[in-house]
Structure 1
Amino acid sequence: MKIDFITSNAAKVNLANERLAKYGVEVLQKPLPLYEIQSLDIIEVAKSKAEQALKFTSEPFIIEDSSMCIKSLNNFPGTLLKPVFDSLGDELILRLLKKGQDRSVTVISQLIYYPGKNKELKLFQGTYNGVLPNEPRGDNMRGWKVSRIFIPKNKDKTLAEMNDQEWQEFLDDFRQDDHFEKLGNWISEK
């Protein structure tokens, strides 16, 4: 089965292929000129993108949107992750936190799957808890803007510091709550 991933980020497509290959799914990159609405509701943002994509294609596709909620900053930047990262960068985001302030963070990934043939959109959400380091660390971005500043729960390295084996262990640890795994399981049950 082939599914288009509506994104310009090739690293996201590679990750989706890693996660979905065992379900017999091949993910193909399909960049489209989509506008991202500014809303604090991650489902609303992702659905808006999916509705826009439906104007360009009727083939099966997925769309992903992410949110980063820093607990001590009242869940800022939330769904405004992309414009905040593009404007401030990861170093300035970390400077918003005072010394000794709670550094816990939740990254939420919202995946929308359109099965094609005028069928209903399906929603799958992944949640990843962790903490923020004092400064950005590592170079391997792996398609996630937060890779240099996200330390997964029970780990001591940022995603960007992890080698391939550690990255795979992270993915395995979060498998039950991974949005791609949830999609793969849903497809395999159909």
Structure 2
Amino acid sequence: MKVDIYIETSSQFQGKVERKCGYVLSTLLRGGEETRKHFGTVSGTYHQAVLLTIADALEHMTRSCKICIHTRDLYVGSRLEKITEMAGAGWMDSKGQPIKNKEEWQQVYKAMNALPDPHEITAKTEKHSYSMWLREEMKHRECGRILGQGLEPAPGTGHINNGMSGYHY
């Protein structure tokens, strides 16, 4: 099974601002594409917003699968496949200083390690087929949920499942 995660933010401005973020989870089930969309807000830099959106998206995975993350953030995309190496170095750079956005990288790492085994994660850094659609949706949508705070079960159920195999809310 393969899941594509398409990430987009309302702004690529590098400074700290509040921005809307959205993503689409896509997989082929029963012979056709099944998608789920999620939106929220993040207050921080562009890289922080992308990292927290990735962590949120990964928390939806409930089955072992190949995951491809599509983002326009070249820095985050290029470092995703080195996240285990960064964790092994104690989240320090080559000069012995803490890496930037350490807390957000740790959230992504935690979400990756909570995935059912085995899993394989790759990243593509390019404009993708959902880029414009997500940006348009964010313009017209209330994105009140704050990303990066984890998912919560539905009241009284203890878990959440949206009926799409491999995902949960």
Shared fold (TM-score greater than 0.5)?
no
Which structure has more relative contact order (CA 8 Å, sep 6+)? It is: 2
| TM-score normalised per structure 1 | 0.24
Decide which structure has the larger Cα Rg and report it.
1
Structure with the larger strand share:
2
